Amino acid sequence: MIAIHSVTKSYNNHPVLKNLDLEIPEGIIFGLLGPNGAGKTTLLRLIMGRLRPDAGSIRLFGKYQPGDEEACFLLGYMPQQAALYEGLSVEENILFFGRLYRVPEQELRLRLDDVLQRVELTGKREALAGNLSGGQKQRVMLATAMIHRPRLLILDEPTAGVDPMLRISFWNWFEAMARDGTSILVTTHHISEAARCTEVVFLREGLLLDRGSPGQLTARYGVKDLEAAFVQATYSETSGRLNNDNDHDNNGNSNRDNQAPGPGSSSGQEPPP
């Protein structure tokens, strides 16, 4: 569904994504898990066509480039920061986004009732967005992102600042949407949330450390939860990089090749004293 090939992105010469290769399949909840600064939002913005990569390519649904008009209609996006018209009611905000995505008026009214019910805001439909709590605003944001029934719903830290009970509700709604056929791409740094994804990638400092289902990742590292798996994946990547650095001199030549053979080497010679 999303094919990311050798994507690199820097801000002011500071690399944020480093030669990233990633295929994201359709029909699942796919999680990007990583600490703040890992490059998750940057990757989402590249997929949405709001940023361009410095190198590499992204293909959506087998035929579109990010930013293509047809692709925009297939995507729903819930950014980290609430982006609502505070002077409009809940209902007016959702209708506004529905019209932006050209949902036919009669259909829009039916969908409005449906999304309000899903995010449990039917009783607040006439409330001004500016008067809502943070959690309620997040729920309206989710409703606006799904009013046009996108093929892929992109959620950037959708539960940031949301209390634990509401967070559980959010994930119940995501799972219900996935069951109804919507693909979901979600970023999080909450391990407990990542465990509810069908598949997860670990991202750190712009590098993809590993990917798999939560069960595969914990089994691969022989640990009991995703947090420990993330730590192990980070450790493996860091020690691999350090070994590589030690193996090369400043000219990129391999120091291993120049090393005097050790006791275990095939020459059988002892190293010089």
Q: Under the rule (CB under 6 A), what is the footprint of ligand ADP?
A: 11-12, 16, 34, 36-42
Q: How far is the CB of 14 from ligand ADP (least distance, A)?
A: 7
Give whichever of 80 and 216 is closer to ligand ADP, judged by the CB atom. 80
CB 60 within 8 A of CB 74: yes
Neighbours of 12 (CB within 10 A): 4
Give whichever of 39 and 214 is closer to ligand ADP, judged by the CB atom. 39
DSSP secondary structure letter of residue 261 = P
Q: How far is the CB of 7 from ligand ADP (least distance, A)?
A: 12
Residue ranges of alpha helices (H) inside the chain are: 40-48, 69-74, 90-100, 105-118, 134-146, 164-179, 191-194, 214-221, 226-246, 255-258
Q: How far is the CB of 160 from ligand ADP (least distance, A)?
A: 11
Give whichever of 40 and 211 is closer to ligand ADP, judged by the CB atom. 40
Q: How far is the CB of 261 from ligand ADP (least distance, A)?
A: 44
Neighbour-count burial for 238-253, b at 16+ CB within 10 Å, e otherwise: eeeeeeeeeeeeeeee
Give whichever of 94 and 154 is closer to ligand ADP, judged by the CB atom. 154
Residue type, 184: I
